[in-house]
Every structure is written in C-alpha cells, then in structure tokens.
Amino acid sequence: MKRLEPRQLLVLSALGRNASIHRAARDLSLTQSAVSKTLAEIEAGMGSALFLRSRQGIAATALGRLVLRRVEHLLDLLDHGIGRHGKEAPVLKIGYVSDLHGMALGQAFVRWRLSQPLSLRLVELDSQPLGLQLLQNAELDALVLDEPGEQELRTISNRMVPVLRKSHPLLVKGTSLSLQDVQALDWILPTAGAPFHRALQSWMVRAGIEAAVNLWILPAGQALSTVVAQSDVLAWLPAAQASWFQQMGVLMPVRLTDVPDIEAPAYLLLGAHVQADPVLQQGVALFAHFMDHSSACFEVQ
C-alpha cells in the first residue's frame, strides 16, 4: 500500500481513542462522512478491515490494533522527539465554542502536531461562560471567542470560501462563477454565530446580492459535507476546511468573480497564568499564527 498521509494518521489515532466515528469526527472538527471516507481509503490500501462496525461504535481488529500501536508511536515521536525522556512536556489547551472556528482549529491542529514539539489539546465547550471559568481556573490556556474581549491576544481571521459538490452543473464553466450563478441557490452556513452573520450581511451589501437568498444553518459535524455533496446547495466554509474537502474529492471551492472575500473574525483570549509562563505564551502566539496561516495559505485551484 501507499505510505499513509499525515491526515490519515490523525484520523486513525482519533478513531482508536474514541472507538466511535462520530466522536472521532468531533475530536478532529471534521464531519463523520470525511472520517468514514478516510478510513475507507486506508482499509482499501491495506486490503483488510482495521475496525469492526456495530451500533455501539467501532472496535479495532487484530490488524487494526497493530496499526494503531505504530501510529501512536509515530505521533509520540512527532510530539516529543526521538529519545526524549524526563519531565513531560507542557500541553497547550485551547477551548472553543463556535462550530465555525472549531473547523478551522482542527486544520491548524493537524499542521501543528506535525511540526511543533509542544503538545496541543483542543477542548470543545458548550458555552462561552464555561470557557471563561475554565480559563480563570487555568484549566484552559486560551479561549477562541466570537466577540472581542478586553484582553484578547490578537484577532484571527477565518477566510470563508463558497463550495459546491464536485459534479455540480455550474462547475462545467470552471471554478469562477458570477453572482447571478449563485444567487438563485440555497446557501448553507456552518454556524449560527452572530459575528459571522454580520460579516456575511455586510459582504452581501458590498457585493450587491439580494437579501432574499435562502439561508440554512447546519453546524459542523452534522453531516454537512454529505448534504452538500448530495444536493445543489452552496455552503460557506473556512478556507482550510474547504481545502480538506477538496482533497477528499467531495466538494469543490469556487471563486466569485469581482467579489471580495468574507472574513469571519475570531478573538484569542489568554489565561492570566499564561503571561507568567514564557513557553505557553510563545505557544499561544505561535498557534495564532498557525490559525491565520491555515486560512491564508489556501487558494482555489
């Protein structure tokens, strides 16, 4: 079989930890269909099943357990370095509430883990007040907010990209479409967050798009890619996530001609304890850079 790609290693690791495709998808801020497709690719390449499926979840086969041990060993080397011993390295803990930012965080997490020695943990939260309490108790090192606070480290911009299913009739003309092409379509948004909706409304005014567009909310992890892949709707995704789905061969990002991008801002708030820890402080600053880069690096092909 071909050598496993970094994204495949991380999907296998998440499946082994969670024993559930649903929980693994939430862990990586991906859709269940994306995780299932990646697993199918790996199993096809190996010519054997790595997990047994049931209503209760998934369980590794004998081959699956062997592969998982090797995957975890490799990821441990990436996290800590070959031959590293002694005191365990600190873990940078970053919390988030918004599905939209969770999708982009997951992509930054993938690139971070493959290149940085400081371990990283993303924590999905039910509410912003809970996140603020955990931050105050030093159980989180940083919190990604939808609305600006008084102590945010910096603003992170998630560039939003429109996507269509790969075989959509509009794509016969290429990936550059006019406003008239997309205005008649139903649109899916990955979050109900007010800041993104304000940014979208402002963008629609600048672009001259009628406010009568049909908008639907479908949070990340709720089979978003499956819905888009099986219909003619247009979905707005963070650029890094659009790149992931393009690599999976599910969706195709498009460019709207003569129209500026939509930026969905996020705000990174530091815990007070981080200011006294140079390692954590540098880690949070570096991760903020990763977030910006994961949005800026992707261009529609």
The CATH number that applies at residue 243 is: 3.40.190.10
With contact defined as beta carbons under 8 Å apart, do 125 and 292 qualify? Answer: no
Per-residue buried b or exposed e for 42-75, using 16+ beta carbons within 10 Å of the residue's own CB:
bbeeeeeebbeeeeebbebeeebeebbeebeeeb
How far apart CA 257 and CA 245 sit, in angstroms, is 22
Structure token pair of residue 36: 């299932």
Mean pLDDT of 117-121: 76
Domains held by the chain: number = 3
Percent of the chain clearing pLDDT 90 (strictly above)? 1
86: in domain: no
Q: Give residue 199's pLDDT.
A: 81
Indicate the SS3 state at residue 211.
coil
Structure token pair of residue 47: 């010519």
Distance (Å) of CA 121 to CA 54, 95, 209, 279: 28, 8, 40, 15
pLDDT band at 193 (very low <50, low <70, confident <90, very high): low
301: in domain: no
109 and 27 in a common domain? no
pTM to 2 decimals?
0.58
Q: Give residue 246's pLDDT.
A: 80
Q: Give residue 102's pLDDT.
A: 65
pLDDT band at 56 (very low <50, low <70, confident <90, very high): confident
135: in domain: yes
Name which of 221, 216, 182 is nearest 197 in CA terms: 216
DSSP string covering 241-267:
HHHHHHHTTSEEE-EETT-PPEEEEEE
Three-state SS for 76-136 is: HHHHHCCCCCCCCCCEEEEEECCHHHHHHHHHHHHHHHCCCCCEEEEEECCCHHHHHHHHH
Residue whose token pair is 């890619």? 225
85: in domain: no
How far apart CA 300 and CA 117 sit, in angstroms, is 31
275 and 151 in a common domain? yes
190 and 244 in a common domain? yes
**pLDDT at residue 79 tops 60:** no
Domain membership of residue 269 as a residue range: 91-155+264-296
147 and 277 in a common domain? yes
235 and 101 in a common domain? no
190 and 113 in a common domain? no
288 Cβ contact partners less than 8 Å away, ≥ 6 residues apart: 153, 154, 156, 268
**pLDDT at residue 221 tops 70:** no
Q: Give residue 301's pLDDT.
A: 30
How far apart CA 50 and CA 44 sit, in angstroms, is 10
12 and 98 in a common domain? no
Structure token pair of residue 12: 């296998």
27: in domain: yes
271 and 139 in a common domain? yes
Domain final residue, candidates 46, 80, 114 = 80
255 and 283 in a common domain? no
Mean pLDDT of 227-235: 82
118 Cβ contact partners less than 8 Å away, ≥ 6 residues apart: 89, 90, 91, 92, 279, 283
Q: Give residue 233's pLDDT.
A: 87
Torsion of CA 284, 157, 112, 249, to 10 degrees: 160
68 and 38 in a common domain? yes
The amino acid present at 190, given as its one-letter code, is P
pLDDT tens sequence across 163-173: 898 888 888 77
Paired sense of beta strands 57-60 and 251-253, if any: unpaired
**pLDDT at residue 126 tops 80:** no
Q: Give residue 191's pLDDT.
A: 67
1: in domain: no
Mean pLDDT of 2-8: 73
Q: Give residue 103's pLDDT.
A: 65
Mean pLDDT of 30-45: 86
Domain final residue, candidates 49, 80, 111 = 80
Q: Give residue 84's pLDDT.
A: 44
162 and 149 in a common domain? no
With contact defined as beta carbons under 8 Å apart, do 27 and 40 qualify? Answer: no
Percent of the chain clearing pLDDT 70 (strictly above)? 76
274 and 146 in a common domain? yes
**pLDDT at residue 210 tops 60:** yes
**pLDDT at residue 295 tops 60:** no
pLDDT tens sequence across 246-285: 877 778 888 877 777 787 777 888 888 888 888 888 888 8
Least confident residue range of 5-19, 26-40, 132-146, 210-224 = 210-224
How far apart CA 210 and CA 151 sit, in angstroms, is 37
**pLDDT at residue 297 tops 80:** no
